[in-house]
Structure 1
Amino acid sequence: MTEIVLREHIPFSGPSLLRHQNKPEGYMCVSCAWAKPAKTHPLEFCENGAKATAWEVTSKRADERFFASHTLSALEKWLDHDLEEQGRLTRPMRWDFASDKYVPVSWDTAFEEIGRELKQIAPEMVDFYTSGRASLETSYMYQLFARIFGSNNLPDSSNMCHESTSVGLPESIGATVGTAVLSDFQNCDCIFYIAQNVGTSSPRMLHDLQDAVHRGVKIVTFNLLREPGLERFINPQAPSEMISGSETPISSEYYQVRNGGDIAALFGVCKALIEADDGKQGLGVSTVAGSDGEPRSESAAAVAFAAAMAAADKKHVLDHDFIKEHTAGFEEFAAAARAHTWENLERFSGLTREEMIAAARTYAASDAVLIIYGMGLTQHVMGVQNIHMVANLALLRGNIGKPGANICAVRGHSNVQGQRTVGITEKPDLVPLDKLAELYRFDPPRWEGRSTVDVCEAVRSGKSRAFVSLGGNFIRAVPDTDIMEVAWRKLRLTVQIATKLNRSHLIHGEIAYLLPCLGRLEVDQQDTGPQAVSMESSVAYFHGSRGRVKPASPHLLSEPAIIAGLAKATLTRGDVPWDQWVADYSLIRDAIETTYPETFKKFNERLFKPGGFPRPVPARERKWVTANRKANFITPPRLFPEFETTSADADVLNLATLRSNDQFNTTIYGYSDRFRGVDGTRQVIFVNGKDIERLGFEPGEIVDVTTAIDSGTVRKVQGFRIVEYNIPQGCCASYYPESNPLFPLSHHDPKAKTPSYKLLPVRLSRSNIVPVE
């Protein structure tokens, strides 16, 4: 923490501010979406949370003098870290063609020209993007602006991370979000932790995991890499641990699943549970077809598992009462699990039969299992099916909708989940359009809008002419980065609402505006006084947030004020009290409550309730809002994706992207990843030592990485240093977003359209490029 506050020139204000982070009357962290507990720790922030706070309240400024000194063409050559390191934006800017620079402009002029341009473009050709940090109040106003304008093109960062959850969980259990609450950590007796790195993505959860371990809870981890945060934890807020170096082992079992092998791994656990249950029903030891097609008996481990379950008690391994009363599709799923051979499950998962059976044994011996997962499951070409498998595992023993037993989908950015709750979605059937029409006297568009991938395709094809971005770094976050940057310059209008400079502000349309906004940590003073905002956490609880520092510039407007300014300059219909809302955000919350009365009952009254207040999630009460009013076992049709490669597969590795501990999403705080032993560069690729030797390379050698899917286009990143790492053979990993140019737009889940950032076939070749240090 000391290093970052000194670097950002806030040695006195920074530590004082951090005492209010994630506290009931303080502000919500601008980094991850983990919940604010009712009973807080003395310091309720992690290392990355401290970095995010210091990054936002830095004393550095990217002001008009900075932009007067640099053309955008020159700034394009800067690294991501160096762009944001210039500090806070201070006033609205417009790109000037003659000088290739951003030049200052008044707010009134900006709103007037943007509005004039938008009026000349068909609504279906305008995209309104939202990053994950905009408040509920801003998000509600933004989606309303877009829909009154006539567009349902409301892509958001959720399209790039947890859309597989938003599609898969409703099909399985009728919920668009996870069912877990914080108290589940106190009530569970086992945690299955799948494909999420707590150390870099949600470090505050380590407190909950540590407390669970101290209660005797077993944590069974399935993850591609051996990550220190999932292996051990020293609590920085416990002086005795810091002095003694006493570590808490986190995972009692750790299984390294090859990327793309999660369905096979979970099928293996389910197979072991089902066949042990078959044995308890008197079916004996089951047989399966071997690789030669001949039947063979199960392993000694499977026999021992079934015998142990039989000896333990007279109950079945599975919760048949729950399955009968609450679910559909069990028999089909169970038949598929029995039919999969252990040989195939081992081949595709990267785990041994004994490992999958051991995990099943722990699962079966537990009464309340909390299943936690992250983007390691969702960012796949089979992401939705991965989520179905998580639900299938939970349903086998009724591990959903009871204390300690639920599904926790760990979201990334701080309000990415909440934005969807108040209408940021391209899917009109998820929004109460009739209610909006009644309240604001307009006819909402009913056609399905564009997701993130759809937007990229529309820009490439010329079907998109304007892009308005509420935060984020869209062009850096999307797949096919190099191709998209070329297409992006053909847009007529690009508008970026932001706090700091990033690459998306440099790759622009014919007309480009950069509109600086207040940050969440800053005092938002409006006509009725200082305002508060709200957001939704990963466990679907709503929290209030109050800014506490002086704004970076007197020329900044709040996000609601900017949305209102754009709306008033653009719209010719609708009856919305934009000015009243900007003067008093509680009126926006009243409007949200009127639109979503069951979800936001007594919104203003409960805004700062310690621990937040819950969003209704019927599946928490075993009420299934599905077509058949049941929780559904959904059987994935295959174990592993099918890829078409250009030649033999012997030299192909499956790439997964990941984050360092010195970044959050596309924000790069520095070039150190101390958890993985990397310093001074991000141009690295992590490879198993045996693969390095097999492919004829040496650790530390510089290579180029090329996509191994035959799509007719060569996609390559150059100058990456090989780092030997504990990762399964046949797999490799590199940092996001540096590897994004490798990923074709078409490489995504077919239903969720989530880019498959965690699985891509690639090849390595020797490079002549000197890596960027």
Structure 2
Amino acid sequence: MSSKFRRNISLTGPLSFSKKGEFKEPLGYAGGSPSVQHALQHTFKEMGVSKGLKGLLKMNQKNGFDCPSCAWPDPEKPKAGVEYCENGAKALADEVTHQSIGADFFQKYSVEELSLLSDFELNKHGRLTEPLILRPNSLHYEPISWEGAYQLIADEFGKMDSPDEAIFYTSGRSSNEAAFLYGMFARALGTNNMPDCSNMCHESSGVALSETLGIGKGSVKLEDFYHAEVVIVAGQNPGTNHPRMLSALEICRKNGGKIISINPLKEAGLVNFKNPQKIKGWLGNGVALADIHLQVNINQDIPLVKLLLKKLLHLDLENQGQIFDHAFIEKYTEGYDKLVADLEKFEEAHLLEQCGVDQQLIDSTVELLSKKTKIIVCWAMGLTQHKNGVENIREFVNLLLLKGAIGKPNAGTCPVRGHSNVQGDRSVGIHHYVNPTLNERIEKHFGFKAPTKVGYDTVETIQAMHEEKTKVFVCLGGNFLMAASDTRYTAEAIQNCELTVQISTKLNRSHLVTGKTALILPTLGRSEKDEQNGKEQFITTENSMGKVRWSKGLFEPTRGSIKSEPKIIAEIANAYFKGLHSVPWSRLGNDYALIREYIDKIAKGFDDTENKSKGSGYYLPNNVRELDFSNLPNGRAQLTINQLPKHDLGANELMLMTVRSHDQFNTTIYGMDDRYRGVYNERRVLFMNESDMKSKGLQKHDAVHLTSQYDGKERKATYFKVIPYDIPKGNLAAYYPETNLLVPHNHFADRSQTPISKSIKVTIEKAVV
């Protein structure tokens, strides 16, 4: 922006504590009647009783719509009317809320005024209802016609010196149909600049699994959990982030399976689960899910797994090869001798000290794993968002391969995806790298040559925008600013753009921190009817376990002038190409069945999606399930050598990991409570070991500032209340996005470039309130 005019936007909203904040003992269980109560309260308040019940009864049903929240799969036979969780109910209510805002709202409030609100308050204003423009040197959004918005975007694309000055970001809420069109338009424009939300979360999983097993997805199906002998839940909090997973773990326990939790925090959902779909879940004591809790130090999973492998190896030698599956290792893997030699280099005492887990718990874990072969490892951001995130996952894959727990029923890998279709986005072509086979199919079926230059991922996008190498930034959903690392740096980068475009359902801070010109294009939610040219459409998604399934909206669209994502993308493309292009953009925007025909032809593994996605859906091909490693070196799964993490903490530094509260999903804040951890009406809190508090001279509820120092640059997040908590000494936890300010943009996982949001070195300073 010009030096004469710059919008004064708050990146955080209010920094003061809530006067109504309360802190209680953490709950010892997840689910139960409170989860039903809170789900219904939220739903009825936002949607009304009749509409709320109607929506809940249709969500995740075979003839209904896919939950707009997480990507946990639905059972083959969903329970009639009750296949949803508290978070799913909140997501639905958030989407179908009675509250809405349009031009009058933005005429009344400037973007500077709105930025002083919290992320929770911004979200509560409701659905966006008409296209809006924030013009240069203006502080207020104003109405713009759809045609005017499309032409503005087309004109800005036309002004670019290179197609690579455009960025196309995708969130995980988009359908396969929308993501496919979006990716094809970016390529037709001439760029592979397609960062997406998986760059910030499960990119480490994709890289690690591709390197070791030949596919960047998990290998298990939902039903595999039911009869697994051991399920390892590492770096994941299913009680808050994927509550329906607890039902699968409950079935596993009922069938004799054992559960191991690996996490610095002992989360309520894995301590005890009261299934809200059962009477005894309301009245009984619940089910203790995790048999073993390994409270590992932050990002010390590799020394933990090495210690387990080393002990298992010694048992294997003592028992004449009866612990590891040597027949499997010999037939399907490569690198066994090198791995064994590497394990012998480490002292058990050093590994034990580094991981911080009690010796007795280690021995119990080894004893359990030594006797079992049907093992599932599932994980989330607690493994991926570190400099060594890729290596973390590869080390767990080593464990599975040595036990022969790959490519057979009730065993394998399970990266638990966050947003509901983040995996589907990738499957239909949202990625910044070049896939020659995909490009060939694009040319064959769409008639244009796709670009062959690697595009920007999320980290590279932010840097490119900061260096003024880009001009147009388009976001298909999401809240890019608050999801990304290094919030201040990212905000500066975004404001360097000529035009930013947000295709959104609701207001968030990314609508306030913008380019010189900004557009908001309001879109349909997952649960709303989508009618094009008089015909009702459906969309498809892919869940965490690779199943593609249809989803059809139930409710009449929110009032105002809103359009579907596929329609918006098709009309932008048509405006840019002026109707003169080999891709029939207009027809595709009007007929999603035609989009699916092209998906089947161009995207790998899709087949007769129009028909096979109906009902319970169909699985995409997965080479691991077939024990086919032909695309890997020597046609074998790869055992790998992974180094121990090195953090080099200073004398006064502690290790911070960012976490979600129970009242949020990704960057969307539904409420101000985290009842599982005993926090009410407050988010600026710091969970801290009591001995660390004592050494720092801190009392319960003292206010502190957090500072990170990387490469000589200081980053500061101010005013957090200290909460004594059961977390290993030297470790801290706090909610994001409030602490994303501390995450350096230029520190990320090797090879995947996932930000280090779960292992940030910080110092603590007592604040004067």
- Alignment TM class, shorter chain as reference: over 0.9
Q: Which moved more, 1:567-576 or 1:719-728?
A: 567-576
1:642 corresponds in structure 2 to: 647
CA distance in 2, matches of 1:29, 1:323: 40
CA distance in 1, matches of 2:560, 2:737: 33
Question: 1:263·1:386 contact (CA, 8 Å) conserved in 2?
Answer: yes
Deviation at 1:548, TM superposition (A): 0.2
Deviation at 1:260, TM superposition (A): 0.9
1:233 corresponds in structure 2 to: 273
1:174 corresponds in structure 2 to: 214
1:4 corresponds in structure 2 to: 42
2:315 corresponds in structure 1 to: 276
1:67 corresponds in structure 2 to: 106
1:722 corresponds in structure 2 to: 722
Relative to 1, partners in 2 of residues 1:136 and 1:155: Cα closer, same or farther, differing over 3 Å?
same
Question: 2:334·2:636 contact (CA, 8 Å) conserved in 1?
Answer: yes
2:471 corresponds in structure 1 to: 465
1:747 corresponds in structure 2 to: 747
2:119 corresponds in structure 1 to: 80
1:397 aligned to 2:398? no
Trace 1:168-247 onto structure 2 (pairs within 5 A).
168-243=208-283, 245-247=284-286
1:614 corresponds in structure 2 to: 619
Question: 1:348·1:639 contact (CA, 8 Å) conserved in 2?
Answer: no
**In the TM superposition, what whole-angstrom CA distance separates every residue of 1:60-118 from its partner, at most 9, and x where no partner exists?**
00112111110111111111111111000000001134541110111001001110111
The AA in structure 1 aligned to 2:73 is: A
In structure 1, which of residues 348, 360, 364 is the aligned counterpart of residue 366 of structure 2? 360
CA distance in 1, matches of 2:437, 2:95: 32
The AA in structure 2 aligned to 1:15 is: L
CA distance in 2, matches of 1:119, 1:569: 11
1:676 corresponds in structure 2 to: 677
CA distance in 1, matches of 2:640, 2:59: 41
Q: Percent identical across equivalent pairs?
A: 37
Q: TM-score, normalised by structure 2?
A: 0.93
Q: Which moved more, 1:577-586 or 1:31-40?
A: 577-586
1:509 corresponds in structure 2 to: 515
CA distance in 2, matches of 1:218, 1:744: 38
The AA in structure 1 aligned to 2:725 is: Y
CA distance in 2, matches of 1:502, 1:402: 44
In structure 1, which of residues 224, 245, 257 is the aligned counterpart of residue 296 of structure 2? 257
Question: 1:423·1:431 contact (CA, 8 Å) conserved in 2?
Answer: no
1:477 corresponds in structure 2 to: 483
Q: Which moved more, 1:527-536 or 1:127-136?
A: 527-536
Question: 2:688·2:725 contact (CA, 8 Å) conserved in 1?
Answer: yes
CA distance in 1, matches of 2:169, 2:765: 37
The AA in structure 2 aligned to 1:619 is: V
SS at match of 2:387: coil
In structure 1, which of residues 574, 578, 591 is the aligned counterpart of residue 585 of structure 2? 578
Trace 1:698-709 onto structure 2 (pairs within 5 A).
698-707=699-708, 709=709
SS at match of 2:311: helix
CA RMSD of aligned residues (A): 1.3
Trace 1:118-517 onto structure 2 (pairs within 5 A).
118-121=157-160, 122-243=162-283, 245-281=284-320, 316-429=322-435, 432-517=438-523
Question: 1:148·1:571 contact (CA, 8 Å) conserved in 2?
Answer: no
1:299 corresponds in structure 2 to: none
**In the TM superposition, what whole-angstrom CA distance separates every residue of 1:137-163 from its partner, at most 9, and x where no partner exists?**
000000000000011000000000000
SS at match of 2:661: coil
CA distance in 2, matches of 1:436, 1:9: 43
Question: 2:240·2:661 contact (CA, 8 Å) conserved in 1?
Answer: yes
Relative to 1, partners in 2 of residues 1:430 and 1:615: Cα closer, same or farther, differing over 3 Å?
farther
Trace 1:49-64 onto structure 2 (pairs within 5 A).
49-64=88-103
1:25 corresponds in structure 2 to: 63
SS at match of 1:428: coil
Unaligned 5+ runs, structure 1: 282-314
Question: 1:348·1:640 contact (CA, 8 Å) conserved in 2?
Answer: no
Question: 1:210·1:250 contact (CA, 8 Å) conserved in 2?
Answer: yes
CA distance in 2, matches of 1:81, 1:761: 27
How many residues were matched structurally?
727
Deviation at 1:181, TM superposition (A): 0.4
SS at match of 2:713: coil
Question: 1:81·1:668 contact (CA, 8 Å) conserved in 2?
Answer: yes
2:661 corresponds in structure 1 to: 660
Deviation at 1:280, TM superposition (A): 2.3
1:760 corresponds in structure 2 to: 760
The AA in structure 2 aligned to 1:589 is: R
CA distance in 1, matches of 2:610, 2:137: 49
The AA in structure 2 aligned to 1:265 is: L
SS at match of 1:557: coil
CA distance in 2, matches of 1:152, 1:472: 19
**In the TM superposition, what whole-angstrom CA distance separates every residue of 1:466-501 from its partner, at most 9, and x where no partner exists?**
100000000111111012212321211100100000
The AA in structure 2 aligned to 1:113 is: L
Q: TM-score, normalised by structure 1?
A: 0.92
SS at match of 1:753: coil
SS at match of 2:633: coil
The AA in structure 1 aligned to 2:51 is: S
CA distance in 1, matches of 2:140, 2:294: 52
Deviation at 1:360, TM superposition (A): 1.8
Question: 1:342·1:353 contact (CA, 8 Å) conserved in 2?
Answer: no
Relative to 1, partners in 2 of residues 1:10 and 1:694: Cα closer, same or farther, differing over 3 Å?
same
Question: 2:200·2:458 contact (CA, 8 Å) conserved in 1?
Answer: yes
Question: 1:91·1:553 contact (CA, 8 Å) conserved in 2?
Answer: no
Deviation at 1:650, TM superposition (A): 3.1
Question: 2:325·2:404 contact (CA, 8 Å) conserved in 1?
Answer: yes
**In the TM superposition, what whole-angstrom CA distance separates every residue of 1:697-740 from its partner, at most 9, and x where no partner exists?**
11110000001x44121101000000111011110000011000
CA distance in 2, matches of 1:178, 1:254: 23
The AA in structure 1 aligned to 2:752 is: A
CA distance in 2, matches of 1:403, 1:430: 33
SS at match of 1:129: strand
1:689 aligned to 2:729? no
Question: 1:656·1:758 contact (CA, 8 Å) conserved in 2?
Answer: yes
Question: 1:194·1:373 contact (CA, 8 Å) conserved in 2?
Answer: yes
CA distance in 2, matches of 1:491, 1:143: 21
1:45 aligned to 2:84? yes
